[in-house]
Amino acid sequence: MIHSRGPLKRSTGFTASFLVAASLASGGCAARQGITGTRWTVVPKELNMQSQGNPTNPRKPAPPVPEMVGATPAPFFIGPGITQISLEMHPPTGPALDHEGGVMHRDIYLAFDNVKGKVRAPSFQVYLNLPPGSQPDEHPELRAGVLAMFGLVESSSPRDNHGGDGKNMIISVTDLFVRLMAARDWDSRTLRVTFVPQTWDAPVPQVQVGRVALYFR
């Protein structure tokens, strides 16, 4: 499921159950391919956030605070062909530490911030942790969702209500992420994200993505 969204609070972290599951997984993915073929590294901005309760109803717990647990370090381009990037994932420092249900009962989603383009572009399918050297259509089970580019040009224009900041979108990846954690080659430190342009009636242009971030809520 994909949704447009506004700005989110951020910090970094995973739950204890996440780390236990990661430690039980054997092996690790050797590929750390970014757009230029080099490994992406991230310097996290750690921010502890605590829910303050519901002021209108003290007995009702406040909604869970989203916590950023990994992100790309700089803007990058997707298209015209298949593009794969990697983002680093980090140990818990904030709200993820306090989640009683553990990772299996969380909402997990990818946020795509400040997606911009000067011309119309096709939608992009998003895959997680494709095996090195494989083709996306060989692994439909790793498909996370679709980034729709409707309104891309308008939201990228300084004259638009967005102020030229582009589109902000999220894809829920809860079920897929839990399945990835159970895989033998699960790597608890790195998540690979692959963008595949859908069929288009013209040459596929490059689209700039300001950031991809992984959140637990």
Among 24-33, 47-56, 70-79, 182-191, top mean pLDDT goes to 70-79
At residue 210, what is the residue type?
Answer: G
Q: How confident is the model at residue 69 (pLDDT cuts 50, 70, 90)?
A: very high
Task: Give the DSSP H or E segment for 175.
Answer: helix 174-181
| Lowest model confidence (mean pLDDT) among 58-62, 63-67, 104-108, 193-197 | 58-62
Q: Which has the higher per-residue pLDDT, 96 or 22?
A: 96
Rounded Cα distance, 14 and 90, in Å: 7
- The tokens describing 160, both together, are 């638009």
Residue 9: its pLDDT value, please?
Answer: 42
pTM for the whole structure: 0.71
Predicted confidence band of residue 97 (pLDDT cuts 50, 70, 90)? low
pLDDT at position 179 over 50? yes
33: exposed, middle or buried (C-beta count within 10 Å: 0-12, 13-18, 19+)? middle
Q: Using an 8 Å Cβ cutoff, are 2 and 170 in contact?
A: yes
Three-point CA angle 71, 72, 73, nearest 5° = 115
What number is the average pLDDT over the span 187-191? 94
Closest CA to 194 of 117, 119, 131: 131
pLDDT of residue 146: 97
Task: Tell me the residue type at 57.
Answer: N
